[in-house]
Amino acid sequence: MYRGARQFNEPGVIVLFEVAPDKLIRDAALFRWDLRELERERRLKIIFTTRQVFQQELQQADSPLLAEAAEIGARRIFVDGLIRLPDSNGGDSREAFHLLAEGLHRENLTAMLALESTSVDTAAARAPEEFVADTLLRLSIEPVQRAVLRSVEVVKSRGHEYALGRHSFRIVNGQGLDVYRRVQAPRSLQRERGAAFDPTSRVATGIPGLDELLNGGYYVASTTLVVGISGAGKSVMALQSWPKGPGAASAAS
């Protein structure tokens, strides 16, 4: 979100349900991301609301939330702390999430949604929302001998090939995420180009290593669901976007 506004001139909206905006701004400052300055420059809008109000507003044509996003020309949105939302009739949460994704897509917003996982067992922690999202990144944190390992896995990303498997990363003060791609056989460039039907329509994450895993970044107006237990690094991943590297295509370029 920070680099999207600062580096790529793509304003963004951050929606919070539980973490107060002042705390988010304080935590982001540890990575040298001045969110308050971006707010003053009208390149970032932080909204503190409830999940019910957020869901209802996205289904309204005259939504005040979407009107505020349009006012600053927002192109990205990060929703922190999403939980499984029942629809208005108390039905399947997959349908409710589908309506949420459609509302964001209608506004041409490239969305990252952080979903809290309640289990370290990936099979048990699977949520209905995973089948609706265009891209699913699963973050994990687990003890390895006497250390702790953070990893990211691209579970799916519709429309193009991506690097399978779990890749380690670390959170660095004053910097953000560093992603280390796992060792594997070289990829076929011809096959990748055949799978990426329009490589110029990507929104680069800018995080070293992550753009490479996603073959250049997210598709414009796509919805990405980031899943992981508390402390895995979901918020840091969504807040950060690094300067473009070689081969990373952005919709802003």
10 Å CB burial of residue 129 (0-12, 13-18, 19+) is buried
Identify the H or E element spanning 211. helix 210-213
SS3 116: strand
| Helices within 77-123 (DSSP H only) | 93-106
- Residue 128: beta bridge partners? none
Q: Indicate the pTM of the whole model.
A: 0.67
Domain boundaries, the chain: 2-239
**Quick one: CATH architecture of 2-239?**
3-Layer(aba) Sandwich (3.40)
pLDDT of residue 168: 93
Confidence at residue 246, expressed as pLDDT on a 0 to 100 scale: 46
Q: List beta partners, residue 147.
A: 144
Q: Where is 77: in which H helix or E strand?
A: strand 76-82
Pairing type for strands 202-203 and 218-219 reads antiparallel
pLDDT for 122 = 55
> What is the Cα–Cα distance from 68 to 65, expressed in whole angstroms?
5
Q: What is the mean pLDDT of each run of 10 residues along the chain (253 residues)?
A: 94 94 95 95 94 79 83 93 59 69 83 78 58 88 87 90 89 91 65 52 84 85 86 89 46 36
Residue 58's Cβ-side half-sphere holds a number of Cα atoms within 13 Å equal to 25
CA–CA distance, 234 with 227 (Å, rounded to integer): 7
At residue 208, the pLDDT reads 79
Residue showing tokens 């990252």:
112
- Tell me what pLDDT residue 144 has: 84
In sequence order, the 6+-apart residues with CB closer than 8 A to the CB of 238 are 1, 78, 80, 112, 114, 226
